[in-house]
Chain A
Amino acid sequence: MRMRLFTIIFLLTFSPLLNATEWRGTGDLGVVVERADGSLQVIETTGNTILGRIEGLGDLSHASAVFSRDERFAYLFGRDGGLTKVDILQRKVAARVVQSGNSIGGAISQDGRLVAVSNYEPGGVRIFDAVSLEMVADIPATYGDGKQSKVVGLVDAPGNRFVFSLWDAGEIWMVDMSDQAKPVVRKFMDIGLQPYDALITPDGRYYIAGLYGEDGLALLDLWNPDKGPRRILADYGKGEQKLPVYKMPHLEGWAIAGKRLFIPAVGQHQVLVVDTDSWQEVGRLDVHGQPVFVMARPDGRQVWVNFAFPNNDTLQIIDTQSLELITTLKPGKGVLHMEFEPRGEEVWVSVRDIDRLQVYDTDTFSRRADWPVLKPSGIFLTSRAHQIGL
């Protein structure tokens, strides 16, 4: 009897509070960039619904996000140099700085304490305290006789390091932030012409920069940095007429499935297959258009590919074992980005020109959800918080 009374009192006291705050985790949440409106949509992947909108985030063309390790905050990197820390549970801006005139992406450090942004204008990298967004380090990408290069392909690496590439200078820089007060910069010169984006392998060992200005890719083994970067796939595309490139491929999504790396060919309607032991090309797959994102389902069994203008209404799915095309989907004009749920059973797809956000079953390829979202581009799920390089 006494117990029951206690229970009633407890419920009367706390249930309004419980209802008001709706305790929930954030492991099934994510954000979708509405690139034209400067806003985010918060999504949840358990019921495949949209929870709400966060506005006033500036120019979000080409915006990307990383997550705090507690998966509560998204750090959003806007085109206009804006760095915004968003509380996705409360769906509001927690902190915001406009840290440069023109930026392209960012990364969060291994220990989660630092957020780095790569800038086009002024060219370089700036590093911020993840709690307060106060600047901790400013690293201008100076080269030659004092010019500043645009910076691309910024990733986090083990050892609390950041690695990035200099588009104008053809260099890779590695910044060790073990001691926040004393960033140690190591530069690798002459890596190739116009690195336009880069990736780090999921184990954090290899940093690979794609080269726009010449054939091949630059590979840096972060376990053996003294050996310096080396060129891989240097013969790729040689002597072939390249098609005009209407959208630069993205390398963040480069897919590693088992021992095979799947990468978008620049200026060709092909996906390249590379053996990750020898770093030799072992195959080429003809696809619908010039690939932009080539992304592996988390289990590595499938690779999903989207395409540049004017073929951007299509998705193709490739079997990584047989290297055969499994199916072709037509979500609509302007397929910009895909994001797999952490265990890969579903994938979220943004379709810009028809203002839709779609969810597909990766087994049956049926559409599970289809939401109206204004000019959606990047989709980022909180599970990225625990992946090296994302």
Chain B
Amino acid sequence: MKQPVLIIASLLFLAQSASAAGIPEPRRIELLNLLKHDCGSCHGLSLKGGLGPPLTPTKLQGKPVDFLAATILYGRTGTPMPPWRPFLTNREADWLAQQIKEGVQ
């Protein structure tokens, strides 16, 4: 009897983190628009790459979400990748990194 409760609890926990860690829906739409169009100006609208590298799940295999989030926030020295920290919270960067890892439609 205990086990199902645990499962439900962990499912709830997962569901919560999947619900974008408290990022409200309108902001998520804004973030996806930013990803598609502003990140997309270098990485391609469908994130398959441009002057910047592709950001597809296959290409990002082995790159942890933390690493991706840090790249988004602080940029990459020696490359044109700029820091997006002025426009994003840590939580939003984490969420974006997760979206990219999972593959955005």
Contacts and interface: CB of A to CB of B under 8 A. Distances in A.
The answer on A and B forming one complex is yes
Nearest to B40: A61
Given A36-B45, A62-B41, A79 B82 contact: no
Nearest to A167: B51
Name A's interface SS: loop
Interface string A283-315: 000000000000000000000000001100000
B40 to A, nearest CB: 6
A137 interface: no
Contacts of A247: 38, 41
Nearest to A102: B49
A61 B33 contact: no
Contacts of A353: 33, 37
Given A61-B45, A248-B42, A334-B37, A79 B50 contact: yes
Contact of A61 (B46, B51, B80): B46
Contact of A245 (B33, B48, B80): B80
A102 B38 contact: no
Interface in A143-167: 150, 152, 167
A193 to B, nearest CB: 11
Contact of B51 (A35, A80, A248, A310): A248
Interface in A226-267: 244-248
A62 B87 contact: no
Contacts of B49: 102, 120-121
Name B's interface SS: loop
Residue from A36, A102, A244 whose CB has the most chain B CB atoms within 10 Å: A244
B38 to A, nearest CB: 5
A247 B75 CA distance: 14
Interface in B45-59: 45-46, 48-51
A61 B42 contact: no
Interface string B73-105: 001000010110011000000000000000000
Given A62-B50, A102-B49, A310-B87, A79 B44 contact: yes
B33 to A, nearest CB: 7
A364 B38 CA distance: 32
Contacts of B87: 310
B89 to A, nearest CB: 15
A248 B48 contact: no
A150 B44 contact: no
Contacts of B38: 246-247, 309
A248 B45 CA distance: 15
Contacts of B28: none
Q: Nearest 3 pairs between A and B by C-beta?
A: A61-B45, A244-B82, A309-B38
Interface of B: 33, 36-38, 40-42, 44-46, 48-51, 75, 80, 82-83, 86-87
30 contacts: A35-B37, A35-B45, A36-B45, A59-B45, A61-B44, A61-B50, A62-B41, A62-B44, A62-B45, A79-B44, A80-B48, A102-B44, A102-B49, A104-B50, A104-B51, A120-B50, A120-B51, A121-B49, A150-B51, A152-B51, A167-B51, A196-B51, A244-B82, A244-B83, A245-B80, A246-B38, A247-B38, A248-B51, A248-B80, A334-B37
